[in-house]
């Protein structure tokens, strides 16, 4: 018996000719939170997938609780006491919340082969309660918004009372409340002597709950450190290889005349009488708790939902949202929040995924392949997209790089006037986040109006000129971003 | 009393449909109402059609089945309800059933096989034969083929070098012939099991300049669309079998029993085999029309004198 | 957090009148009423029983197909599998093999065939559509080769399964079908395997991550499918009393059609057996109505197609109600 | 960005020997070599041309089907659509209508039929499988109704399309097929419509968010499919010189089979026309080989199925090579 719950060494993983993990070592002790940080595509998810049995390494050794395991697979890993929250929220839409939580480990009832539904539902309810929400465990998961799907995923990992829990960016699609609750839970798990592997791009969280941190860079092991002995600058330098400011200090852009205006926009049960305006060069942040209707609001503007009432003006001209293409033609761009469902063309390469919007706008009948390559190359360079080549399929990119591609496709539209970003930096590493912020500033400089929906408090505070606060479908307040503190903003979100 | 007969047809294809038309033609002449039910090639629907007619209490039933056992089921159900039954195109199988049926009406597939073999032996001795069948699992094909093979062997003038399944699909028949030729089979006589397939093969052979040079085609059925091909010499020989006339006779057999004219059961009625060549082509009594035609009356009187009285009673 | 009420998400029960099966039922009832008012014989017990009798085999096949489709696979060889099993059984019956062994062989062969499709699909990582297309030919070809194309009649024997009428009127075959629906429904709703079937069909990655063996789940489903095909085959054989290689051909399309019209998604993971039952029933009612309405037999096929399309049109309302 | 070396980006082609089409080609070549070594006539120009001639109609249908499947739909009515169009054309030819009008009517009718399937699918938000199953009956039923079930022969007329051999040996019909492959390939790879097709099939919600009209894309695809069916119908009619309502039945299954074996995913968004061509070719080579190898007709069907399954087995290697 060793004192390590998990110990891996010399892990190598190749995809095609591309080596994504190069002799990586990692270990986890009981009662600690061991974080993994690194840029998008550094290999974090691949590493934890190897530990959870979802991916087979090409070489290297895995010890779990002192026992060497070969041919690890998810079933075996679960039996050995490893629970995993994967980065891509993988849930079964057609099964209920409780059924998802207990999937693969159904609780039998006294009657053989029959699942004990009542017990499962009760347990599910209890676990969700500890995460601060109360969801009817009988609801099909497909009917839940992304946040709660993620909560279900977390609940699924928690109920098993395993010895090791792996979290791969659990908070990327969580709201403030849920994040807080999760931090609380992780602390208590730690106290019970469990080992936790935690991946996040929010370094703040790492300093909040982490004990040790391992840095990966381009698949290479950069070292493991005690959290108490390092600081943000050090970590970032290790990850990115240069200075990056965690709290981004944006450049101020002169703000021009009114460009975009919403008056009394309403949609039954979702959005109520929302009015605001955005001026040229302005970044208008929209904040609020998860489920406050921010996504619905921007969906109304982009023509995905039909408003019941309200008017929208672009440069003083009335604009009636009809369909996304109509919005695009009117100069509105939108980067949706759920990239996998709403933005990624799986099975298609990054070129096709990049040029889809510009092709629509130019209405070209015949494709100009060379031009497309050039545009894609531009995006790859501008946004620092890590890819093995033009023909790489988008699902084979790391999560943050996928986000860059689906965002990049809008940047090719030079005539756009209004940019809507719904959670633009979800799952994006610190370095790349800075890139995206620079891009937004660049757009602002060009006199575009920018609407940024975000659940990331520092992001809202550092980027927005003004912040509209949504609560239960209403825009309750529009705050000038002067002397605003996180605390003050949060109060406004909650309404106390 | 108004008589009502029921008719179960397997599906809407030409052959079956002509049978129905013949039956209906005779029924009209006799003033009998007919309920036709279509099984759409679904065995279970066929059974339910039989039951539906029994439930309706028809005075007589005729079944044309694509399921070899269909007539047996019909025999069982009708016997229980006391409804007379005639069966079309079942190659006489149903006559072995426990329950007596009135009659089975058929073409003499056995005689046809022999007849074709004899024609080929007489006109093209020493030449090899290839055979494009309909569906090999189809009973008439099997009966024909058995007789044909035996007769060819007996006469000893020709040899069958290949048998292929054209599945009654013209396109498939052409494909099979193409492959037969390209794969080096040596044959100059091609017998094709119906004129639909033969017409397509003729078209292709012509375009390749192989028709009658050296490949000669024989076929069977005497269908309307085959006649033109025989006239122009593309099909050398065929055998007339008119489904319309078959339907006509089926009605008479049933009607004779229902009206008490002929009280015999388990009759096996075989329609005569009449050769179709360039000489006989314009003679309706030799090449029996498929479509409704009064010549059937004349033919019936000639070949089935037992129905003369019945026919004269028709309008 | 203090001060903030907790997020509460309650299940919004969709009213029954907005569900797809309800509209299917409405379509069926309307058709029945129209037919019955034109020809009152439609509502006789005899005719009703007739319809049930007619759909029993299709129902059993469609139940198996529902499971297969729910896992995201498809099997278009079920019709010829049934045909092959029927041919072999008929040959055994003719040679006076004891019934017990006939049943064993029939079930065993059907399961073997179905498993062959399943195993090849999994081993070759190939789409089951094309794998089963290959086996479709293999099964029919085998039936053809062993029977030499000659049909196998078993006149008078093996009649219990298909011809028995309980209490003089209720078809045993439909009762068996009903039991199968109930078993499959139970399987899907209350057992582990049921959960796994939905999970594998809806999101196989999620299933894999949860430690579910996708291969095992699919193989089990192909196994059950095989059993059901064997059963259906014996009932059909018992009913029609003869088998030939083409027996059962085309049934796969009808079964898939019934499953899909019943609301099961071809992409897997979504659907239930009640829908399948109603889909099968719809087909039965339509084809019976065509005769009851005395539709010219030569127009029946067009009308059948139109009825199917109308039934789909009716279910547009279900989508409408869902929203409204 | 400074500090980080730029990634060199190339269109990194997967080596040809690890692609699926390569293995399909290997399967075909092996089969050809085996057949040819047993019966050397296999390699005669005549026989080769024969095979090409035989697969031209299927190829055109499969090209259209590839587009349909790429958008995530399916159309199982194409065979009966073709049959109906062939019947109508044959009737027009018999009544001496000028060729121009025949062609117009044939194309128009095929497009109309195909669009009916497409429009109903979209309007009813129903799966195209079941919609086209309904229309399958409607088309065949209509063909039966208008022909009264009678076979329509056109004897010596309308021979150009199907029977012409260019330079005395090259079938015009195959040339047409080839042109269609090239056009469809061009469409898929070099036009915006092609991108729309892949996008809609891959993720229709994302396509909608990107401003692509899903309905328009699908309707266009059904339109093109209709044109191709019309064309295929005329070639087939010209080849066999006759039409009946069952003409074309079962071709849908063959076409879907060829598309799927060519590597196009039934879920849409993934696949190409080269694969389809090889899939069609495989079917042609197999069925020709059966005759070349002088396989007993009673065993041809089994062997056909086995060959298909072996070909799938071979493509397992492609998955293996992809990894390594
Ligand atoms: N299935 C796959 N096929 C090919 N390449 C892959 C595949 N999965 C991952 N990769 C590559 O492996 C590398 C590491 O990916 P991984 O998902 O582990 O990154 P990550 O560190 O989790 O990044 P992120 O922070 O963006 O989630 C990336 O370059 C990615 O493109
Ligand atoms: N209490 C609730 N009851 C029912 N549905 C809820 C509830 N809370 C949230 N939802 C669901 O969430 C949706 C609103 O979430 P939306 O995604 O618009 O919020 P958001 O403010 O954009 O938050 P985020 O983007 O962080 O998820 C509603 O349409 C609803 O389906
Ligand atoms: Mg990751
Ligand atoms: Mg949102």
pTM of the entire predicted model: 0.90
CB contact set of B215 (below 8 Å; sequence gap of 6+):
B187, B188, B189, B190, B205
Ligand 2 nearest-atom number relative to CA A289: 21
**Chain A residue closest to C13 (CA)?**
A139
Among C202, C213, C269, beta carbon nearest to A75? C213
Rounded to the nearest 10°, the torsion over CA D140, D146, D147, D152 is -90
Give me ligand 1 centre to Cα A350, in Å. 14
Among D159, D247, D288, beta carbon nearest to B179? D288
Residues C318, B79 contacting (CB under 8 angstroms):
no
d(CA A95, CA A115): 14
Among C136, C257, C315, beta carbon nearest to D133? C257
Ligand 2-lining residues (CB < 6 angstroms): A 145, 147, 175, 270, 288, 290-296, 337, 455; C 7-9
Q: Of the candidates A50, A10, A6, which has an alpha carbon nearest to the alpha carbon of residue A32?
A: A6
- Give chain D's largest Cα–Cα span: 80
Residue D321 Cα, gap to closest chain B Cα (Å): 36
CB atoms within 10 A of CB A71: 8
Percent composition of chain A: helix, strand, coil (DSSP 3-state, to 5)? 35, 25, 35
> Are A75 and C206 within 8 A, CB to CB?
no
Q: How far apart are the first and last CA of chain B?
A: 17
- Residue C179 phi/psi, 5-degree rounding, is -60, -40
Q: For residue B180, which residues of chain D lie inside 8 Å, CB to CB?
A: 291
Tell me the domains of chain A and their CATH numbers: 6-243 (3.40.50.300), 245-494 (3.40.50.300)
Q: For residue A133, which residues of chain C lie inside 8 Å, CB to CB?
A: 6-9
| Tens-binned pLDDT, residue by residue, of chain A (496 aa) | 458 899 999 999 998 778 899 999 999 999 999 999 988 888 999 999 999 999 999 999 999 988 899 889 999 999 999 999 998 888 999 999 999 999 988 888 888 788 888 999 999 999 888 887 888 899 999 888 888 888 898 898 888 878 999 999 888 888 888 888 889 889 988 888 899 999 998 888 999 999 999 999 888 999 999 999 998 888 888 888 776 665 667 788 888 899 999 999 999 888 999 999 999 999 999 998 878 889 999 999 999 999 999 999 999 999 999 999 999 999 999 999 888 889 999 999 999 999 998 888 888 889 888 999 999 999 998 888 888 888 889 988 888 889 899 989 998 888 889 999 999 888 888 888 888 898 899 999 999 999 999 988 888 998 999 999 998 889 998 999 888 888 888 888 887 7
Mean pLDDT, 10 residues at a time, over chain D (324 residues)?
Answer: 42 57 86 92 89 93 97 95 96 91 96 96 89 94 88 82 83 93 95 95 94 95 97 93 88 93 90 94 92 87 90 72 50
d(CA B80, CA A318): 81
* C89-98 contacts, C-beta under 8 A, 24 or more apart: C89/C233, C89/C234, C89/C237, C89/C243, C90/C152, C90/C153, C90/C154, C90/C237, C90/C242, C90/C243, C91/C146, C91/C147, C91/C152, C93/C154, C93/C157, C93/C158, C93/C237, C94/C152, C94/C153, C94/C154
Give me ligand 2 centre to Cα D278, in Å. 49
d(CA D222, CA A102): 43
Give me ligand 4 centre to Cα A294, in Å. 5
Q: How far apart are the first and last CA of chain A?
A: 53
Q: For residue C151, which residues of chain B lie inside 8 Å, CB to CB?
A: 68-69, 137, 139
Q: Of the candidates A322, C176, C51, which has an alpha carbon nearest to the alpha carbon of residue B44?
A: C51
Any chain D CB within 8 A of the CB of B200? yes
Rounded to the nearest 10°, the torsion over CA D91, D95, D101, D106 is 0
B residues 118-137 near D, CB within 8 Å? 136
CB contact set of A198 (below 8 Å; sequence gap of 6+):
A33, A34, A35, A36, A167, A170, A186, A205, A206, A209, A210
A42 Cβ below 6 A of ligand 1: yes
Q: For residue C139, which residues of chain D lie inside 8 Å, CB to CB?
A: 305
In which region does residue A316 sit, left (phi positive, over 0), alpha (psi from -120 to 50) or beta (all else)? Answer: left
> Are D199 and A364 within 8 A, CB to CB?
no
Strand partners, B235: B217
Q: What is the pLDDT of residue C296?
A: 83
pLDDT digits (tens, 9 = 90+) for C196-227: 999 999 999 999 999 999 999 999 999 999 99
Mean pLDDT throughout B21-38?
93
Mean pLDDT throughout B88-113?
87
pLDDT digits (tens, 9 = 90+) for C85-106: 999 999 999 888 898 999 999 9
Q: What is the pLDDT of residue D197?
A: 96
DSSP D17: G
pLDDT digits (tens, 9 = 90+) for C53-79: 889 999 999 999 999 999 999 999 999
C24: tokens are: 């299917």
d(CA B167, CA B136): 7
> Are A356 and D203 within 8 A, CB to CB?
no
Pocket mutation for ligand 2, best pick of A285, A291, A460 (most atoms within 8 Å of C-beta): A291
Q: Tell me the average pLDDT of chain B.
A: 90
How many CA within 13 A on the CB side of residue A50?
29
Residue D263 Cα, gap to closest chain B Cα (Å): 27
**Chain B residue closest to D145 (CA)?**
B12
Q: Of the candidates D142, D94, D138, which has an alpha carbon nearest to the alpha carbon of residue D242?
A: D94
Instruction: Please count the residue pairs, one from chain C and one from chain D, whose beta carbons lie less than 8 angstroms apart.
Output: 137
Instruction: Please count the residue pairs, one from chain A and one from chain D, whose beta carbons lie less than 8 angstroms apart.
Output: 113
Among A16, A341, A364, beta carbon nearest to D205? A341
Residues A334, D158 contacting (CB under 8 angstroms):
no
> Are D131 and C309 within 8 A, CB to CB?
yes
Residues A265, A279 contacting (CB under 8 angstroms):
no
pLDDT digits (tens, 9 = 90+) for A46-98: 999 999 999 999 999 999 988 899 889 999 999 999 999 998 888 999 999 99
Q: What is the pLDDT of residue B15?
A: 87
B244: tokens are: 């319309």
A41 Cβ below 6 A of ligand 1: yes
Q: How far apart are the first and last CA of chain C?
A: 36
In whole angstroms, what separates CA D6 from the centre of its chain?
44
pLDDT digits (tens, 9 = 90+) for A220-265: 999 999 999 998 888 888 888 776 665 667 788 888 899 999 999 9
Residue D183 Cα, gap to closest chain A Cα (Å): 13
Q: What is the ipTM of this complex?
A: 0.89
Report which bound ligand comes closest to the CA of A16.
1
Among C9, C195, C210, beta carbon nearest to A135? C9
**Chain C residue closest to A147 (CA)?**
C7
Pocket mutation for ligand 2, best pick of A97, A132, A133, A145 (most atoms within 8 Å of C-beta): A145
Give me ligand 3 centre to Cα D193, in Å. 33
> Are D9 and A334 within 8 A, CB to CB?
no
- The residue whose C-alpha atom lies closest to atom 22 belonging to ligand 1 is A45
Any chain D CB within 8 A of the CB of B223? yes
Residue D25 Cα, gap to closest chain B Cα (Å): 22
d(CA A346, CA C19): 31
DSSP string, C253-290: HHHHHHHHHTT--TTSS---HHHHHHHHHHHHHHHHHH
pLDDT digits (tens, 9 = 90+) for A322-347: 999 999 999 999 999 888 889 999 99
Regarding chains B and A, contact by 3 or more CB pairs under 8 A is answered as no
Among C150, C242, C291, beta carbon nearest to B69? C242
Q: Which of C52, C152, C240 is best to mutate for the B interface (most B CBs within 10 A)?
A: C240
Q: Which residues of C8-20 are buried (b: 16+ CB within 10 A; e: fewer)?
A: ebeeeeeeeebbb
Q: Which of C45, C87, C149, C252 is best to mutate for the B interface (most B CBs within 10 A)?
A: C149
> Are A91 and C203 within 8 A, CB to CB?
yes
- C137 vs A399, C134, D298, CA distance in Å? 45, 6, 12
DSSP-H helix ranges across chain D: 20-38, 45-70, 78-94, 99-124, 128-147, 160-163, 172-190, 192-202, 204-209, 214-240, 251-261, 273-292, 297-323
Neighbours of ion ligand 4 (CB under 5 A): A 295, 337
d(CA A188, CA A33): 11
> Are C297 and B51 within 8 A, CB to CB?
no
Q: For residue D190, which residues of chain A lie inside 8 Å, CB to CB?
A: 366-367, 369
């Amino acid at each position: 018996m060793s004192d390590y719950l998990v110990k891996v060494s010399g892990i190598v993983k190749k995809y095609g000719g591309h080596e994504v993990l190069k002799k990586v070592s990692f270990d986890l002790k009981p009662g600690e939170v061991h974080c993994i940080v690194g840029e998008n595509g550094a290999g974090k998810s691949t590493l934890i997938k190897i530990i959870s049995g979802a991916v087979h390494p090409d070489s290297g050794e895995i010890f779990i609780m002192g026992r060497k395991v070969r041919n690890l697979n998810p079933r075996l890993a679960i039996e050995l006491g490893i629970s995993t929250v994967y980065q891509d929220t993988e849930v079964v839409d057609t099964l209920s919340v409780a059924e998802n939580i207990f999937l693969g480990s159904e609780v039998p009832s006294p009657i053989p082969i029959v699942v004990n539904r009542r017990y499962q539902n009760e347990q599910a309810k209890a676990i969700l309660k500890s995460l601060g929400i109360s969801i009817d465990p009988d609801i099909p998961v497909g009917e839940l918004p992304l946040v709660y799907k993620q909560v279900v995923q977390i609940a699924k990992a928690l109920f098993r009372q395993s010895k090791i829990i792996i979290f791969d960016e659990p908070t990327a699609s969580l709201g403030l409340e849920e994040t807080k609750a999760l931090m609380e839970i992780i602390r208590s798990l730690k106290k019970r002597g469990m080992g936790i592997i935690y991946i996040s791009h929010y370094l703040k969280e790492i300093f909040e709950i982490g004990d040790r941190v391992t840095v990966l860079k381009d698949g290479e092991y950069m070292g493991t450190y005690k959290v108490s002995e390092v600081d943000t600058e050090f970590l970032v330098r290790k990850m990115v290889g240069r200075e990056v400011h965690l709290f981004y200090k944006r450049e101020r852009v002169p703000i021009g005349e009114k460009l975009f205006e919403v008056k009394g926009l309403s949609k039954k049960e979702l959005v109520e009488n929302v009015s605001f305006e955005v001026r040229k060069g302005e970044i208008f942040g929209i904040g609020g708790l998860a489920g406050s209707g921010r996504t619905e609001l921007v969906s109304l503007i982009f023509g995905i939902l039909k408003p019941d009432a309200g008017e929208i003006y672009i440069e003083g001209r009335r604009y009636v949202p009809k369909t996304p293409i109509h919005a695009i033609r009117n100069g509105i761009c939108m980067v949706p929040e759920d990239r996998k469902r709403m933005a990624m063309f799986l099975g298609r390469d990054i070129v096709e995924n990049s040029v889809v919007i510009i092709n629509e706008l130019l209405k070209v009948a015949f494709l100009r392949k060379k031009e497309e390559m050039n545009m894609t190359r531009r995006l790859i360079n501008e946004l620092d997209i890590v890819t093995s080549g033009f023909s790489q399929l988008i699902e084979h990119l790391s999560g943050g790089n996928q986000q860059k591609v689906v965002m990049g496709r809008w940047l090719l539209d030079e005539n756009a006037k209004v940019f809507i970003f719904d959670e633009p930096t979800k799952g994006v590493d610190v370095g790349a986040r800075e890139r995206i912020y620079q891009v937004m500033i660049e757009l602002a400089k060009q006199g575009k109006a920018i609407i940024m929906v975000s659940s990331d408090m520092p992001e809202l505070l550092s980027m927005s000129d003004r912040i509209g606060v949504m609560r239960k479908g209403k825009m309750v307040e529009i705050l000038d971003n002067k002397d605003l503190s996180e605390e003050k903003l949060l109060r406004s979100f909650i309404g106390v | 009393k108004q008589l009502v007969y029921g008719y179960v047809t397997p599906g809407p294809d030409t052959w079956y449909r002509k049978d129905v038309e013949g039956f209906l033609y005779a029924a009209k002449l006799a003033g009998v109402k007919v309920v036709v039910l279509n099984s759409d090639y679904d065995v279970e629907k066929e059974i339910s059609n039989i039951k539906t007619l029994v439930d309706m209490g028809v005075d007589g039933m005729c079944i044309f089945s694509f399921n070899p056992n269909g007539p047996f089921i019909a025999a069982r159900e009708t016997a229980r309800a006391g409804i007379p039954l005639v069966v079309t195109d079942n190659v006489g199988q149903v006559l072995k059933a426990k329950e007596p049926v009135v009659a089975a009406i058929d073409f003499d597939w056995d005689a046809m096989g022999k007849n074709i073999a004899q024609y080929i032996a007489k006109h093209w001795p020493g030449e090899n034969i290839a055979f494009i069948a309909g569906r090999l699992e189809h009973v008439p094909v099997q009966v024909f083929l058995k007789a044909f093979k035996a007769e060819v062997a007996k006469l000893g003038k020709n040899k069958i070098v290949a048998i292929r399944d054209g599945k009654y699909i013209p396109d498939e028949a052409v494909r099979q012939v193409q492959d037969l030729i390209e794969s080096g089979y040596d044959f100059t006589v091609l017998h094709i099991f119906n004129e639909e397939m033969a017409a397509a093969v003729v078209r292709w052979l012509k375009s390749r300049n192989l028709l009658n040079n050296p490949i000669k085609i024989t076929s069977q059925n005497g269908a309307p669309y085959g006649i033109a091909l025989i006239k122009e010499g593309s099909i050398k020989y065929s055998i007339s079998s008119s489904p319309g006339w078959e339907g006509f006779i089926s009605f008479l057999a049933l009607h004779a029993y229902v009206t008490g004219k002929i009280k015999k059961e388990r009759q096996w009625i075989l329609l005569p085999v009449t050769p179709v060549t360039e000489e006989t082509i314009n003679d309706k009594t030799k090449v029996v029309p498929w479509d409704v035609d009064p010549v059937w009356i004349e033919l019936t009187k000639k070949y089935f004198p037992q129905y003369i009285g019945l026919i004269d009673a028709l309008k | 957090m203090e001060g903030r009420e907790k997020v509460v998400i309650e299940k919004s029960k969709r009213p029954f009148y907005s569900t797809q099966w309800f509209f299917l039922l409405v379509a069926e009832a309307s058709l029945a009423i129209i037919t019955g008012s034109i020809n009152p014989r439609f509502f006789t017990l005899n005719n009703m029983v007739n319809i049930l009798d007619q759909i029993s085999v299709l129902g059993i096949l469609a139940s198996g197909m529902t499971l297969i489709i729910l896992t995201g696979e498809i099997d278009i060889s079920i019709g010829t599998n049934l045909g092959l099993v029927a041919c072999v059984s008929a040959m055994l019956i003719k040679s006076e093999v004891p019934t017990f062994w006939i049943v064993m062989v029939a079930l065993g062969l059907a399961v073997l065939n179905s498993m062959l499709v399943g195993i090849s699909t999994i081993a070759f990582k190939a789409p089951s559509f094309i794998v089963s297309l290959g086996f479709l030919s293999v099964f029919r070809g085998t039936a053809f080769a062993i029977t030499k194309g000659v049909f196998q009649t078993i006149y008078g024997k093996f009649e219990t399964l298909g011809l028995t009428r309980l209490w003089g009127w209720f078809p045993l075959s439909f009762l068996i079908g009903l039991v199968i629906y109930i078993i499959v429904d139970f399987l899907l709703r209350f057992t582990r395997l049921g959960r796994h079937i939905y999970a594998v069909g809806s999101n196989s990655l999620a299933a894999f991550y949860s430690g579910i063996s996708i291969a095992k789940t699919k193989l089990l489903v192909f196994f059950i499918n095989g059993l059901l095909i064997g059963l259906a085959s014996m009932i059909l054989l018992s009913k029609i009393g003869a088998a030939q290689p083409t027996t059962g051909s085309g049934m796969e399309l009808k079964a898939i059609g019934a499953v899909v019209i019943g609301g099961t998604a071809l992409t897997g993971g979504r659907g239930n057996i009640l829908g399948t039952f109603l889909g099968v029933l719809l087909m039965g009612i339509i084809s019976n109505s065509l005769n009851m309405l005395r539709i010219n037999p030569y127009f029946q096929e067009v009308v059948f197609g139109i009825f199917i399309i109308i039934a789909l049109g009716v279910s547009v309302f279900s989508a409408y109600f869902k929203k409204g």
